[in-house]
Structure 1
Amino acid sequence: MAQSALREPEGRGRGAAPAAKEYGVNTRVLHYAVLLSVAALLLVTNIDGYDLWPPDEPRFAEVAREMIQSGDFLVPRVNGEPYLEKPPLLFWAIAAASAPFGEVTSVSARLPSIIAALIALLCTYRLASRLMGARVGLWSAIVLMTNVRFAWQGRMGQIDMLLTACLSAAFLAFWRWHETPRRRWLFTFYAAIAMAVYAKGPVGILLPLMLAIAFYWHKRDRRRRLHLFWGMLGIAVAIGAWLIPARMAAATDLGATAGSLVAGNLFRQTVGRFFLGVSHA
């Protein structure tokens, strides 16, 4: 094993966190290779050996199929009717993964979740390595990878693994921004949050925002708190770029107002799921 060395983060600014002990490049490459190989084996084996499982997989695959068939990637649809229950990221990802196959298949419907699981594993490894060293990073990723629910979701054509990957990337970018205040990490943090919202709605904002608020409140770093306002504003613009036109188009089909669709959908998928017993179907 390569000799360990204490390495300071590049461009450390005032108040930056100390670097954890990391191993050499060869060791990290070996860790990446081991993680990706074992994860791919767990996630890919027999992935085409069974049909899409209801209720979610067939429905989400159908939304992607109708997007490809109609050429309308703005409004998700099932049987030609607007499907407003979920944001579009998974449907777009399935449609993109299906392009090489020429059609939506069980493999292409699950491929986005497989890739997202690999991203989540690598982000977990990298974050734990920055905090506590590469050995802890490796074991952290192994524990995550061998978690039954994680491995299960990584093989399913559902939204949850996309959300996990986006949030993992956001947490890693946030810590790197704290270590070395470079704008690319701040941009990555907010871009990952926006992608998380495109994956599964408001929950994609709540978790990283609570993390950032609690962290900066504890650190009493007023200068860095300022970026939260501008970051949230940027996320709102990014989300509105799809949400407003999509709801306006859907409102025309359904004979409703765009505002009522947005409000109803947000309430149903957040408060409704907690308190009103909203069906998952």
Structure 2
Amino acid sequence: MRPAIYEEKKNPFSISALPPMGIIQLRAFIKKHDLFSILTGITIFLFFFELGGRSFEVRDTRRFAEIALEMLQSGNWLILYKHDEIYMNKPHMFMWLIALFSSIGHHVTPLTARLPSAIAGIASILATFCFIGKFSSKRTAFIAGVILATTQRYFWYGRTSLPDMLFTTFIMLALYSFYLGYKQKPVFYIGLHFFTFLAILTKGPLAIIFIFGTIAVFLILQRNLRAMKGMKWRWGIILLLTMTGLYFAFILKVGFEPFIATIKREFLTRVNSPINHGEPFYYYLVTLWTDFLPWSLFIPFAVIFAYKKWREGDDFITFSFCWTILIFVFLCTAKAKHTRYMLPLYPALSIIIASLIANTLKRPVMNFLWLQVSVRWIIFVMAGAGIILLVAVPVYLVTYSWIGIFTSLITLLVLSGVFLSLRRKTGFANASFTMCMFAAIIGWGIYIHCLTVHSKEVTFGTKLTDVIKKELGDLNGCDIRGYKLGESLWTIINLSLNANISLIKNTDELKTFLNTSEHLQPVCIIEKNTFLDIKNNLADTTLHTVDICTKKRKVTLIFRRERQTNPAAHPAWQDIEEEGNHR
């Protein structure tokens, strides 16, 4: 007989051959929640893929990262500073989160600056799936999640260092909490007040208009304003007092008049007479078509569908419709307009479009047959356009044309095989819509990769850091300052060097700085054109200069090595002229 231990090792049904309990539970969860798991994978890919690959210099906003950097360096998390001046234009929440993520390495990077928006984007899409799943099918929830994740503006602002995605997520969670409290358990009203509190801390009192304005319009249409009495206002009062205490402490530090002036400028002035971003009332009627790509063609039919459902008494679609209309009308009325201001509207619009598409794909009996036919034809056209774009991409991106053509042919065969397989299993319309979603997901991934490659080619900050390390060694041994730098360039330098460098205002101060005899090596960063204007005032043969040039930015480093013993040595700026001649 063989030993029992030998049989136990060879027996595939023995306890030792079974996978760990955690893996079994994970497999069971994925099988039970397959659509949720797929959506999670899609959103992680879309919002985290090469998130830190682009520098701050390519189509991004740097001011909030700069504020978080100064917050980390000063240790003051109550008063916000930008270039050593008090910053009051936006509340604290977004900068707090950037500083929190950056505190791990004590360095604000493109990744840590974008993490709050990316995490908020993923959370909002998964929360949308769970919310819709309670009042509609999981299929509708999945479609809404994919639409929201692949909408052009929503996808883009989920990958930037701007507070709008975080603001949108808190507004969305507050409205979801209200509807859950209204339809299921009143305990969810606590979430309404809590997320309203966080939204105000992110972007100010506009959250109150968006959230409670939507609720008021919905309850008026429902003829149920009495429901407001049960919305657990006690929790709202507690959070309001908490916010009042925070802002009272803030006002004691900065003063009452500057605080009121900021509220007036950032809220009232933007609505009535904005200093910037002023646009005509029809601005969003034009930009919405590009901002909501590739799903824009569904918008007119979604509005008709939502109106039809409202007339039929569908509370879920009516709530989403009220959400959409109120924010859209308010933003069109306000004179200050920007594409990112429309972001809080997109979750509701995605819910309506997803319901329309899901309703169409399962072939229900519709009063408006033309509506169903129109939606189906839009799906077919989008599927065809998406496949054509995916097939054409390799030819456009690959350096060698024959390799690109070969890759495109392989792509065409694979996509055709997938489409035919899906068509046999799910039907022509369902297979077409699946290809639409697939093309949108892969298309945005390719787009982000192209931006990352472009960013590496034009990144000034990386070149600046590399040159300083090459010429002077460790950055910690240098006292680096700037001379009359523009605000944008100053911010890029601060973020690249992970420092808050001070500015030198005139040539006398520059000479004094370069002649300091302290332990740290003095280094001055100056724009090249500015240096050429003042070089005659720096007649010092012991100074050295190095140019750092990209397509958009040209600066000169001025620093001092050991003094030269030969007084006839060429001046410092001769290196620049010779380098320019070589170019």
TM-score by length of 1: 0.81
Correspondent of 1:212 among 201, 210, 215: 215
Shift, 1:96, TM fit? 0.9
2:155 maps to a residue whose letter is A
Instruction: Give the distance between the partners of 2:193 and 2:98, measured in 1 at CA.
Output: 23
2:190–2:232 contact (8 Å) kept in structure 1: no
2:170 equivalent to 1:173: no
CA gap 1:219/1:91 in 2 versus in 1, 3 angstroms: same
Shift, 1:221, TM fit? 5.1
CA gap 1:38/1:277 in 2 versus in 1, 3 angstroms: same
1:207 maps to a residue whose letter is F
What residue is the counterpart of 2:66 in the other structure? 62
Correspondent of 2:155 among 148, 151, 164: 151
Correspondent of 1:108 among 109, 112, 115: 112
Q: Secondary structure at 1:57's aligned position in 2?
A: coil
Shift, 1:85, TM fit? 0.2
- Structure 1 or 2, whichever has the larger Rg, is 2
1:193–1:235 contact (8 Å) kept in structure 2: no
2:276 equivalent to 1:279: yes
What residue is the counterpart of 2:81 in the other structure? 77
Instruction: Give the distance between the partners of 1:278 and 1:56, measured in 2 at CA.
Output: 21
Instruction: Give the distance between the partners of 1:53 and 1:168, measured in 2 at CA.
Output: 30
Q: Secondary structure at 1:240's aligned position in 2?
A: helix
What residue is the counterpart of 2:39 in the other structure? 35
Correspondent of 2:245 among 215, 219, 241: 241
What residue is the counterpart of 1:90 in the other structure? 94
2:51 equivalent to 1:47: yes
Instruction: Give the distance between the partners of 1:28 and 1:78, measured in 2 at CA.
Output: 49
1:186 maps to a residue whose letter is Y
- Residues 166-199 of structure 1: CA deviation (Å, up to 9, x unaligned): 011112111111122242x111111000000011
What residue is the counterpart of 2:143 in the other structure? 139
1:216–1:225 contact (8 Å) kept in structure 2: no
Shift, 1:261, TM fit? 2.6
Instruction: Give the distance between the partners of 1:176 and 1:136, measured in 2 at CA.
Output: 18
What residue is the counterpart of 2:287 in the other structure? none
Correspondent of 1:201 among 199, 204, 207: 204
Shift, 1:26, TM fit? 5.8
Instruction: Give the distance between the partners of 1:226 and 1:96, measured in 2 at CA.
Output: 36
Percent of aligned pairs with the same amino acid = 23
1:68–1:95 contact (8 Å) kept in structure 2: yes
Q: Secondary structure at 2:88's aligned position in 1?
A: coil
Q: Secondary structure at 2:160's aligned position in 1?
A: coil
Q: What is the 5 A alignment of 1:114-129?
A: 114-129=118-133
Q: Secondary structure at 2:38's aligned position in 1?
A: helix
Instruction: Give the distance between the partners of 2:51 and 2:178, measured in 1 at CA.
Output: 34
1:120 maps to a residue whose letter is S
Instruction: Give the distance between the partners of 2:123 and 2:239, measured in 1 at CA.
Output: 22
- Residues 83-132 of structure 1: CA deviation (Å, up to 9, x unaligned): 00000000000011112222111100000000000111012112222222
1:194–1:205 contact (8 Å) kept in structure 2: no
Instruction: Give the distance between the partners of 1:134 and 1:27, measured in 2 at CA.
Output: 14
Q: Secondary structure at 1:52's aligned position in 2?
A: coil
1:147 maps to a residue whose letter is T
Shift, 1:222, TM fit? 2.1
1:248 maps to a residue whose letter is L
1:191 maps to a residue whose letter is F
What residue is the counterpart of 1:7 in the other structure? none
1:94–1:111 contact (8 Å) kept in structure 2: yes
Instruction: Give the distance between the partners of 1:35 and 1:112, measured in 2 at CA.
Output: 19
CA gap 1:160/1:88 in 2 versus in 1, 3 angstroms: same
- Residues 7-66 of structure 1: CA deviation (Å, up to 9, x unaligned): xxxxxxxxxxxxxxxxx9766632222112111111122222221148973210111111
Unaligned runs of 5+ in 1: 1-23, 252-257
- Residues 135-175 of structure 1: CA deviation (Å, up to 9, x unaligned): 11111111111101001000001010001110111121111
Q: Secondary structure at 1:101's aligned position in 2?
A: coil
What residue is the counterpart of 1:186 in the other structure? 189
Instruction: Give the distance between the partners of 1:28 and 1:167, measured in 2 at CA.
Output: 30
Relative contact order, higher structure (CA 8 A, sep 6+): 1
Residues matched between the structures, number: 250
2:124–2:172 contact (8 Å) kept in structure 1: yes
Q: CA RMSD in A?
A: 2.4
CA gap 1:56/1:49 in 2 versus in 1, 3 angstroms: closer
Shift, 1:223, TM fit? 5.4
TM-score by length of 2: 0.40
CA gap 1:42/1:140 in 2 versus in 1, 3 angstroms: same
1:153–1:161 contact (8 Å) kept in structure 2: yes
CA gap 1:136/1:188 in 2 versus in 1, 3 angstroms: same
1:85–1:269 contact (8 Å) kept in structure 2: yes
1:167–1:193 contact (8 Å) kept in structure 2: yes
What residue is the counterpart of 2:309 in the other structure? none
1:65–1:103 contact (8 Å) kept in structure 2: yes
1:39 maps to a residue whose letter is T
What residue is the counterpart of 1:268 in the other structure? 265
Instruction: Give the distance between the partners of 2:32 and 2:142, measured in 1 at CA.
Output: 9
